[in-house]
Amino acid sequence: MTTTSAETSLAGVPPFVPGTLEVGPDGRGHLVGGRCPECAAFYFPARSVCSRCLCGDLERVPLCSSGSLYTYTVIHQSLPQFETPYILGYVDLDDNVRVAGQLVDVEVDSLELGMRLTTQVEPREGADGEQVLWFRFRPAAATEGEE
C-alpha cells in the first residue's frame, strides 16, 4: 500500500495551476474553491461572482477531500506531457462541487460509478523541471483504511 510520505515537503511548493491548491497548517494539501457566503454554492475553480445569486464576495475555502465517482474514462491519446494510458474521472466532492482529475492506486476493472474517492495532493515535476503541487484521486479505502 502506497502512502504519502511527501506531505511534510508540500509547504512552499507552488500549485500546478495558480490558486487551485494550498497547504493547510497541518501540512496537508487541499483543493481550493470558492464558496458563496449568501447561498452556500461551491465553485471549482474559484470565481469572482456567484452565478446563482450574483453575490460578489465569494470566499476562498479548502474543498472537502472526499467524494464519489460520477464517471470516468481511460485516456489512450493525450498531449505530449502526459504518459498514456491513464484513468481520468469526474468526482463529485461531498461539498457538492464536481472536479476532474486522474485516478491512482486502482485497477480499471474495479472502477464503479459512485465509488468513494479521496483527494491526494502531491508534488510532481512541472513543465520546466521544477516541483509543482498537483492532485489525484485514489480509492477512499486505500488511505482511510477498511471500515
Nearer to other proteins, 26 or 130 (CB): 130
DSSP H or E stretch at residue 142? helix 140-144
| Cβ(114)–Cβ(127) below 8 Å | no
Bridge partners for 73 per DSSP:
88
DSSP H or E stretch at residue 144? helix 140-144
Q: Which three cell numbers stand for residue 33?
A: 474553491
Q: At residue 138, what are phi and psi to the nearest 5 degrees?
A: -135, 160
Binding mask 87-106 for other proteins (x = CB under 8 A): -xxx-x---xxxxxxx----
DSSP H or E stretch at residue 140? helix 140-144
Q: In this chain, which stretch among 6-14, 22-30, 47-55, 57-65 interacts with other proteins, using CB under 8 A?
A: 47-55
For the bound state, the minimum distance from the C-beta of residue 147 to other proteins, rounded and expressed in Å, comes to 25
* Binding residue (CB under 8 A) for other proteins from 76, 128, 130, 147: 76
For the bound state, the minimum distance from the C-beta of residue 78 to other proteins, rounded and expressed in Å, comes to 6
- Binding residues for other proteins (CB under 8 A): 16-17, 20, 36, 39, 41-45, 47, 50-52, 70-79, 82, 86, 88-90, 92, 96-102, 113, 134-135
